[in-house]
Amino acid sequence: MGQEGGASGRGRCVGRLAQAPREEGPSSGGQFGHPGTVAAGMADSAETRKLVYLVTGGCGFLGEHVVRMLLQREPRLYELRVFDLHLGPWLEELKTGPVQVTAIQGDVTQAHEVAAAVAGAHVVIHTAGLVDVFGRASPETIYEVNVQGTKNVIEACVQTGTRFLVYTSSMEVVGPNIKGHPFYRGNEDTPYEAIHRHPYPCSKAQAERLVLEANGRKVHGGLSLVTCALRPTGIYGEGHQIMRDFYHQGLRLGGRLFRAIPASVEHSRVYVGNVAWMHVLVAQELEQRAALMGGQVYFCYDESPYKSYEDFNMEFLGPCGLRLVDTRLLVPYWLLMLLATLNALLQWLLRPLLLYAPLLNPYTLAVANTTFTVSTNKAQRHFGYKPLFSWEDSRTRTIRWVQAVEGSAP
Ligand SMILES: NC(=O)C1=CN([C@@H]2O[C@H](COP(=O)(O)OP(=O)(O)OC[C@H]3O[C@@H](n4cnc5c(N)ncnc54)[C@H](O)[C@@H]3O)[C@@H](O)[C@H]2O)C=CC1
Ligand SMILES: CC(C)[C@@H](O)CC[C@@H](C)[C@H]1CC[C@H]2[C@@H]3[C@H](O)CC4=CC(=O)CC[C@]4(C)[C@H]3CC[C@]12C
């Protein structure tokens, strides 16, 4: 998928029909053990602890779950490096176990800091990114972190001899596109005109392309770099700040949320624990399956139901006391567009004084209002992925988290 778009992600990132490289090699069938089974032939004992992993963005919403999942399910782990601009205090509690947990405060836009963190690592899981569709950061900053930061990670792997790189991409690399075309039950090979204008999807698309193109490059020592990109849809679960924002918005509105998007507009969502598990499993299988998995993209998926973004959120906010105002009172779309545009204007006017970044803006409204659902089993066929957490378990865990952090337990 060729991408244009200026250095800062301005203009449009125009992609031809977004198709991942055609699959090579036989589908692997069902020879994998149950999810969570350590990599085949791996004894779970101290003498196997020899691997060094680096997780960039390891203190973020997804990153923290990846860090904890690695500690639980990678028995070969000797050292786990957690690289982030903002280190979390919870890291301290992880330093009491058998694995050496190294907290590294650093910036992926600084090549030398990245190289120092990567040096000696066997695997890099690169989740660090600026996830901004609310206008908080400039397009230039989004590009610097998401694209230049990813370039720095790739070059650090090449220079220091790290062979395995797993990149957290996004569904937004594909869509929804600026024409509002629905992506209905699509997979990694579904043709779709991936045209973006917003800095965030542009930056993710450029970074993903760099990662996939780096597959096969010779790294220091003469062996080849093996890369892979995972495309989560909207992630939910413990630590999801947007979910908390919706909850607080509902409290401000007297326990009600107003339906802005028709229930017929469906989104795929995926539980953060399953996204973390897919990252760990890819990292474990990438060496043995380099020919099949190298340079590939995989959507992150599980059994979470297809629903509108707002109806899906109510699966968790409803049990916490909020209700979604009756659909017959659907807020007219023209009014929503007007409010979204006013929000964007206000953000621009107020920027010299304060940051005004509401959930509703023209971009988030367009994304929310466009069906984007994924139906695939490529990850299962290629490396035996099966969700670790059922929908019921994912839902319960998320509800308990909202209730715990918001004090809304019954
Ligand atoms: N949240 C979602 O629904 C989805 C997220 N993703 C991707 O998953 C990844 C993680 O996203 P979230 O956990 O949701 O975001 P997050 O904002 O919670 O975590 C990102 C982490 O990266 C760190 N970071 C940001 N700039 C950095 C820099 N310059 N140097 C070092 N660290 C830096 C942040 O401090 C933060 O801890 C991102 O790459 C995002 O694009 C993909 C699809 C969906
Ligand atoms: C105010 C209403 C219109 C409300 O429904 C707006 C919801 C809006 C904040 C979200 C709707 C779709 C979300 C995005 C989607 O899940 C895809 C994403 C992928 C990522 O890589 C990062 C997050 C996001 C852009 C996600 C952000 C929040 C929404 C736009």
Cα–Cα dist 261/242, whole Å: 17
Residue 361, in any domain of the structure: no
pTM across the whole model: 0.91
What is the spatial distance between Cα 251 and Cα 249, in angstroms, rounded to a whole number? 5
Residue 184 lies in a domain: yes
Give a yes or no: residue 327 inside a domain: no
pLDDT at 405: 86
Task: Tell me, yes or no, whether 272 lies in a domain.
Answer: yes
* Mean per-residue pLDDT, 136-161: 98
Q: Is 200 exposed, middle or buried (0-12, 13-18, 19+ CB in 10 A)?
A: buried
Q: Is 363 a catalytic residue?
A: no
Q: What are phi and psi of 257, to 5 degrees?
A: -120, 140
Greater confidence, 17 or 221?
Answer: 221
Q: How many CB atoms lie within 10 A of CB 35?
A: 17
Q: What is the pLDDT of residues 224-249, one digit of tens each?
A: 999 999 999 999 999 999 999 999 99
CA dist., res. 389 & res. 192, Å (int):
30
pLDDT tens-digit map of 72-109:
999 999 999 999 999 999 999 998 889 999 999 999 99
User: 3-class DSSP state for residue 18?
Assistant: coil
Ligand 2 contact via 300 beta carbon (within 6 Å): no
Give the pair of three-digit tokens for residue 33. Answer: 């053990």
For the four alpha carbons of 214, 278, 31 and 28, in that order, the dihedral sign comes to negative
C-alpha 247/C-alpha 250 separation (Å) is 5
Q: Are 236 and 272 in contact (CB under 8 A)?
A: yes
Catalytic residue among 192, 200, 236, 298: 200
**How far from each other are the two terminal CA atoms of the chain, in whole angstroms?**
50
Listed in sequence order, the residues at least 6 apart from 16 whose beta carbon sits closer than 8 Å to its beta carbon are 1, 2, 193, 194
User: Could you tell me the distance, in angstroms and rounded to a whole number, from the CA of residue 243 to the centre of ligand 1?
Assistant: 16
Number of H helices, E strands in the chain: 13, 15
In a domain, 20, yes or no: no
What is 160-210 written as a DSSP string?
A: HT--EEEEE--GGGT-S-TT---EEEE-TT---EEEE-SHHHHHHHHHHHH
62 lines ligand 2 (CB under 6 A): no
> What domain range includes position 60?
48-240+268-305+373-397
What atom of ligand 1 comes closest to residue 241's alpha carbon?
18
Reply yes or no on whether the pLDDT at 36 is more than 50.
Answer: no
The strand pair at 51-56 and 13-17 is best described as unpaired
Band of pLDDT at residue 323, cut at 50, 70 and 90: very high
Q: DSSP assignment of 36-82, as one string?
A: TPPSTT---SGGG--EEEEEETTTSHHHHHHHHHHHHH-TTEEEEEE
Distances (CA, A) of 58 to 168, 232, 378: 12, 16, 26
* Confidence label for 48 from pLDDT (cuts 50, 70 and 90): confident
- Res 347: pLDDT: 97
Cα separation, 372 vs 144, whole angstroms:
28
Contact (CB, 8 A) for 294 and 226 = yes
CA distance 368 to 259: 11
Give how many domains the chain has, as a whole number.
Answer: 1
Q: For residue range 247-256, what is the model confidence (pLDDT) as tens digits?
A: 999 999 999 9
pLDDT exceeds 80 at position 285: yes
Q: How far apart are CA 334 and CA 153, in angstroms?
A: 43
Ligand nearest to the CA of 371: 2
Residue 35 is assigned to a structural domain of this protein: no
pLDDT reported for residue 78 = 96
Q: pLDDT category, 313, cuts 50, 70, 90?
A: very high
Q: Is residue 131 included in any domain, yes or no?
A: yes
CATH of the domain at 99: 3.40.50.720
pLDDT at residue 332, as a whole number = 84
Token pair, residue 306, equals: 């297809």
Confidence of residue 190 (pLDDT cuts 50, 70, 90): very high
Q: Is 170 in the pocket of ligand 1 (CB under 6 A)?
A: yes
Q: Indicate if the pLDDT at residue 350 is higher than 60.
A: yes
Q: What is the pLDDT of residue 181?
A: 97
Report the pLDDT value the prediction gives residue 256, as an integer from 0 to 100. Answer: 93
With a 6 Å cutoff on the Cβ, whether 295 touches ligand 1 is: no
CA geometry: angle 285, 82, 207, nearest 5 deg: 65
- Please say whether the beta carbons of 53 and 283 come within 8 A: yes
Q: Which residue has the tokens 């466009």?
A: 370
Across the chain, mean pLDDT equals: 90
CA of 63 to the centre of ligand 1 (A): 7
Give the span between the Cα atoms of 387 and 252, in whole angstroms: 36
> Is ligand 2 within 6 A of the CB of residue 308?
no
pLDDT bracket for residue 357 (50, 70, 90) = very high
Among 131, 367, 372, which is best to mutate for testing ligand 1, by the most ligand atoms less than 8 A from CB? 131
What is the rounded average pLDDT of the residues 171-190? Answer: 96
Whole-number percent of the chain with pLDDT over 70: 87
Position 316 in a domain: no
